[in-house]
Chain A
Amino acid sequence: MSAILEVENLVKKYGDFEAVKGVSFSVEEGEVFGLLGPNGAGKTTAISMLTGVLPPTSGTARIGGRDITTQMEEIKKFNGLVPQDLALYPTLSARANLNFFGRIYGLRGRELRERVDDVLRIVALTERADEAIEKYSGGMKRRINIAAGLLHQPKLLFLDEPTVGVDPQSRNHIFESVLRLNRERGMSIVYTSHYMEEVELLCNRVAIIDEGCIIALDTIKNLIALLGGGVIHVGLQQVDDALLTQLSALPAVKEAVLLPQPVAPPLAEGEESEVKESEPVAAGEVVKIVAENSQQATVDVIGFLNDRDITLTSLEILEPNLESVFLHLTGKKLRE
């Protein structure tokens, strides 16, 4: 397989703010590639540069062998974009919307009618094609939003958070459509999301992006392997270097490090600190323990602390998934 998309050190700046800080990655032909990151990580900005919506500040990318800085007009015929927003005209029917976007891509007459019917079949909305979009449910609007990006049969499709605000049934339908487009039509797909379940389900490889940087890029299996035998978060009243060294020396533990605590915003005058019931209270500090074997490491750590009369304030065993990988790499949750 050859790369359909090669990104090299792509940067986007708005004044002093750097939204995308020199990202590089490639997508193979026929691959479903995931860009996973929290809101504001720079996913949409990166896609905007790759689809010609925004010019890059520096760096470049090649799509289908063409350079985005010099050959974007040709690339646009090759690319498809399904934006995060419902980029449709609510008072027009689904068919009128699709006819319009089809004509924008140069489709006319019989070919246009056939393509519109085809994409309506893909998103299973043929029956309601003549109703105004404003009468659709959120999920149906999302499906038409995807359909509009498929009309010109792009080789490379960018799906930017396509399931935001969608009911489970429509979400499943979108997943099926994405997989069918990839398997049956060989379409290469770049799928951005902050839902790790979606990326795990759909993507072959994933780039984890945070604060404009790609912090990890690999297959899902390899990314999860970064967790080793598992990761445990142990809350303690007080932690010093000697304690970390002793924890690291336990047989089932690979590494014990102090987890950087999120900095809480300063309280306004007269404002009281509020603790959410659903979140564990970590009085003191949290130690991240990377284990050879998470079950054995848990037993060893609890025994070690009991023997020394050290009070445990919280204990969290991370699931082996991308959410844990993100937490492991950044110390933040994906949806923070």
Chain B
Amino acid sequence: MNALNIALKDLQIFFKDRGAVVQLFLLPLLFIAVFSGALAAIGGGEDEDTRTLLPVVDLDAGVAAQTLLDSLDAAGGVRVERYAQEEAQALLEESELARVLTIPASFTTGIADNRPVTLRLVNHPDADPEETEAVRLVVEGVAQDMSLESQIFASLQQMGEMQANAPEEFQVFTVERTIAQARNQFERSRTQPLVAVVQTLPGQPEGEREEMPDAIQLAVPGFTVLFVFLTAQTTALSIYGEKKVGSFRRLLAAPMSKASLLAGKMIPNFITGLIQTAVIFAFGIIGMRLLGLTPMTLGDAPLAVVLIAVLVALCSSGFGILIAAIARTENQIGGLSSLFLWVMGILGGCFIPLFILENFLGPLPKIVPHYWANHAFNDLLVRGLGLADVTTEMAVLLAFTALFFVIGLWRFDFD
């Protein structure tokens, strides 16, 4: 009960300190807004079209040409943009365009008459060879599909005409019915292709983009973890303040145990950490939507997200006791907090995505609790995993919490 009294008093004091409230609640929102914007700008944004531009000069403007353009756009890897012939030629010469695909004027009639037609893909000499090759494969693939479709329709048409001369009892399949069936098969081949074309960019391993979360999915849990751990400094300063003004002595002389006293000093950290998480996540979901940006999602296991948030707040509280036990002066608390909490935040993936950090730091980030907290949030929020998939992270966070408490209590100076 006395622990709660101390906690309520500390929360009352904390919420009177506007500077502290700004630091712990508004600063993370500012960081998220800035960092998610920056990450989106360097390729983390969901809305950016990263497909290769394919400028097209459509001299035909017929149905078949439109079908070809739609097929190219839907094939993946290229983004079709129409240009006038003269404009495209000029931009190609000025190196403003890397290539131009020209659809001849006789394209639709040629397809309809089952005559050979030629698409012309002109590449600039300085165009990226790999990109050129990728575009060529896409265009050839779509063109071959159209050729095949056209040829099969023509064959079916011919077969139908031949079947028309057969006796009536043998006419099970009409020409219209056969063609409709064929069209259906082609439609399915477009929506459910047997072979998918994936374009890879130079230096970017295949599959990497699939794992990279949206900027907001990355920034919200990252800064939540960072700032919840930063409340540890508030706990340490609060304990130091009590010792400095002498109220710690007064509380030690009161009928309460030392455990209650320390618990009372930790509970505000824990509650503040949970409120921080709620505020930052609410900003990620509601605030980003209000700002017209892509909101974050809570994944498929919101209960697991809550559990991780509780563990992070608990671990931060333990770390606050540890700092209070180690540091002897206000300056030491500030110095140690800055050193440990920010470095651990950077190392633990609060600023830089973990898969990038691990590429150049190897297993080093695993030595800080921030890593496990971020890993758990990424598993739940980005990869859509469930509670059972983050048990290792939860166990490690609990172990860190226990370690901080044990060292903190061992080193704590009640005198």
A residues lining the B interface (CB < 8 Å): 48, 51-54, 73, 76-77, 79, 81, 83-92, 96, 100-101, 103-106, 148-149
Bits for B1-40, please: 1 = Cβ < 8 Å to A, else 0.
Answer: 0100110010011001100000000000000000000000
Please measure, in the bound complex, the distance between the C-alpha atom of A109 and the C-alpha atom of B255, giving whole angstroms: 19
Please measure, in the bound complex, the distance between the C-alpha atom of A104 and the C-alpha atom of B5, giving whole angstroms: 7
Known interface pairs A54-B415, A96-B12, A104-B2; A83-B249 also in contact (CB < 8 Å): yes
Known interface pairs A48-B249, A54-B415, A87-B250; A106-B9 also in contact (CB < 8 Å): no
Pick from B16, B249, B251: contact of A91, CB under 8 Å: B16
Within B152-187, which residues are at the interface with A (CB < 8 Å)? none
List the A side residues contacting B12 at CB < 8 Å: 92, 96
Please measure, in the bound complex, the distance between the C-alpha atom of A118 and the C-alpha atom of B334, giving whole angstroms: 41
Residue in B5, B252, B254, B415 with the greatest tally of chain A CB atoms within 10 Å: B254
Known interface pairs A83-B246, A84-B246, A89-B247; A52-B253 also in contact (CB < 8 Å): yes
Pick from A52, A84, A88: contact of B252, CB under 8 Å: A52
Known interface pairs A52-B252, A81-B250, A104-B254; A91-B13 also in contact (CB < 8 Å): yes
Asked if B256 lies at the interface with its beta carbon under 8 angstroms from chain A, I say: yes
List, sorted by A's number, 18 A–B pairs whose CB atoms are closer than 8 Å: A48-B249, A51-B253, A52-B252, A76-B254, A76-B255, A77-B255, A79-B253, A81-B250, A83-B250, A85-B246, A86-B246, A92-B13, A92-B16, A100-B5, A103-B5, A104-B6, A104-B256, A106-B255
Asked if B195 lies at the interface with its beta carbon under 8 angstroms from chain A, I say: no
Please measure, in the bound complex, the distance between the C-alpha atom of A148 and the C-alpha atom of B254, giving whole angstroms: 11
**B13 and A148 contact, CB distance less than 8 A:** no
List the A side residues contacting B247 at CB < 8 Å: 85, 87-89
Q: A101-B250, A104-B2, A104-B6 are in contact. List 6 more A-B contacts (CB 8 A).
A: A53-B249, A84-B246, A87-B247, A88-B245, A91-B16, A100-B9
B248 to A, closest residue via Cβ:
A87
Known interface pairs A100-B9, A104-B5; A87-B254 also in contact (CB < 8 Å): no
**A87 and B246 contact, CB distance less than 8 A:** yes
Please measure, in the bound complex, the distance between the C-alpha atom of A81 and the C-alpha atom of B17, giving whole angstroms: 29
A84 to B, closest residue via Cβ:
B246
Please measure, in the bound complex, the distance between the C-alpha atom of A129 and the C-alpha atom of B216, giving whole angstroms: 48
List the B side residues contacting A105 at CB < 8 Å: 254-255
List the A side residues contacting B2 at CB < 8 Å: 103-104
Please measure, in the bound complex, the distance between the C-alpha atom of A77 and the C-alpha atom of B250, giving whole angstroms: 13
Bits for B242-274, please: 1 = Cβ < 8 Å to A, else 0.
Answer: 000111011111111100000000000000000
Pick from A83, A89, A149: contact of B13, CB under 8 Å: A89
Please measure, in the bound complex, the distance between the C-alpha atom of A88 and the C-alpha atom of B245, giving whole angstroms: 7
**A85 and B249 contact, CB distance less than 8 A:** yes
A51 to B, closest residue via Cβ:
B253
Report the minimal beta-carbon distance from A13 to chain B, rounded to whole angstroms: 12
Please measure, in the bound complex, the distance between the C-alpha atom of A89 and the C-alpha atom of B5, giving whole angstroms: 14
List the A side residues contacting B249 at CB < 8 Å: 48, 53, 81, 83, 85, 87
Please measure, in the bound complex, the distance between the C-alpha atom of A96 and the C-alpha atom of B12, giving whole angstroms: 10
Please measure, in the bound complex, the distance between the C-alpha atom of A148 and the C-alpha atom of B249, giving whole angstroms: 13
Q: Closest 10 interchain pairs by CB? A: A85-B246, A87-B246, A76-B255, A87-B247, A87-B250, A51-B253, A81-B253, A53-B252, A83-B246, A103-B5
Bits for B109-148, please: 1 = Cβ < 8 Å to A, else 0.
Answer: 0000000000000000000000000000000000000000
Please measure, in the bound complex, the distance between the C-alpha atom of A230 and the C-alpha atom of B178, giving whole angstroms: 135
List the B side residues contacting A76 at CB < 8 Å: 253-255
Please measure, in the bound complex, the distance between the C-alpha atom of A289 and the C-alpha atom of B335, giving whole angstroms: 58
Please measure, in the bound complex, the distance between the C-alpha atom of A52 and the C-alpha atom of B261, giving whole angstroms: 14
**A87 and B255 contact, CB distance less than 8 A:** no
Report the minimal beta-carbon distance from B57 to chain A, rounded to whole angstroms: 73
Report the minimal beta-carbon distance from A109 to chain B, rounded to whole angstroms: 14
List the A side residues contacting B13 at CB < 8 Å: 89, 91-92
Report the minimal beta-carbon distance from B122 to chain A, rounded to whole angstroms: 74
Pick from B5, B9, B245, B253: contact of A53, CB under 8 Å: B253
Please measure, in the bound complex, the distance between the C-alpha atom of A84 and the C-alpha atom of B253, giving whole angstroms: 13
List the A side residues contacting B252 at CB < 8 Å: 52-53
A82 to B, closest residue via Cβ:
B250
Report the minimal beta-carbon distance from A292 to chain B, rounded to whole angstroms: 48
A158 to B, closest residue via Cβ:
B253
Please measure, in the bound complex, the distance between the C-alpha atom of A73 and the C-alpha atom of B254, giving whole angstroms: 8
**A87 and B5 contact, CB distance less than 8 A:** no
List the B side residues contacting A51 at CB < 8 Å: 253
Please measure, in the bound complex, the distance between the C-alpha atom of A149 and the C-alpha atom of B12, giving whole angstroms: 22
Please measure, in the bound complex, the distance between the C-alpha atom of A185 and the C-alpha atom of B249, giving whole angstroms: 26
Report the minimal beta-carbon distance from B245 to chain A, rounded to whole angstroms: 6
B254 to A, closest residue via Cβ:
A104
Report the minimal beta-carbon distance from A210 to chain B, rounded to whole angstroms: 22
**B246 and A73 contact, CB distance less than 8 A:** no
A148 to B, closest residue via Cβ:
B250
Residue in B5, B6, B12, B253 with the greatest tally of chain A CB atoms within 10 Å: B253
List the B side residues contacting A96 at CB < 8 Å: 12
Please measure, in the bound complex, the distance between the C-alpha atom of A253 and the C-alpha atom of B249, giving whole angstroms: 50
List the A side residues contacting B6 at CB < 8 Å: 104
Report the minimal beta-carbon distance from A159 to chain B, rounded to whole angstroms: 13
A149 to B, closest residue via Cβ:
B250
List the B side residues contacting A90 at CB < 8 Å: 245
List the A side residues contacting B250 at CB < 8 Å: 81, 83, 87, 101, 148-149
Residue in B2, B5, B16 with the greatest tally of chain A CB atoms within 10 Å: B5
Within B211-260, which residues are at the interface with A (CB < 8 Å)? 245-247, 249-257
Residue in B6, B252, B255, B415 with the greatest tally of chain A CB atoms within 10 Å: B255
List the B side residues contacting A148 at CB < 8 Å: 250
List the A side residues contacting B246 at CB < 8 Å: 83-87
B8 to A, closest residue via Cβ:
A100
List the B side residues contacting A91 at CB < 8 Å: 13, 16-17
Please measure, in the bound complex, the distance between the C-alpha atom of A272 and the C-alpha atom of B274, giving whole angstroms: 63
List the B side residues contacting A86 at CB < 8 Å: 245-246
List the B side residues contacting A104 at CB < 8 Å: 2, 5-6, 251, 254-256
Please measure, in the bound complex, the distance between the C-alpha atom of A146 and the C-alpha atom of B55, giving whole angstroms: 85
Bits for B80-115, please: 1 = Cβ < 8 Å to A, else 0.
Answer: 000000000000000000000000000000000000
Report the minimal beta-carbon distance from A154 to chain B, rounded to whole angstroms: 10
List the A side residues contacting B16 at CB < 8 Å: 91-92
Within B299-347, which residues are at the interface with A (CB < 8 Å)? none
Report the minimal beta-carbon distance from A71 to chain B, rounded to whole angstroms: 12
B261 to A, closest residue via Cβ:
A104
Please measure, in the bound complex, the distance between the C-alpha atom of A103 and the C-alpha atom of B6, giving whole angstroms: 10
Please measure, in the bound complex, the distance between the C-alpha atom of A101 and the C-alpha atom of B255, giving whole angstroms: 11
**B415 and A89 contact, CB distance less than 8 A:** no
List the B side residues contacting A48 at CB < 8 Å: 249
List the B side residues contacting A101 at CB < 8 Å: 250, 254
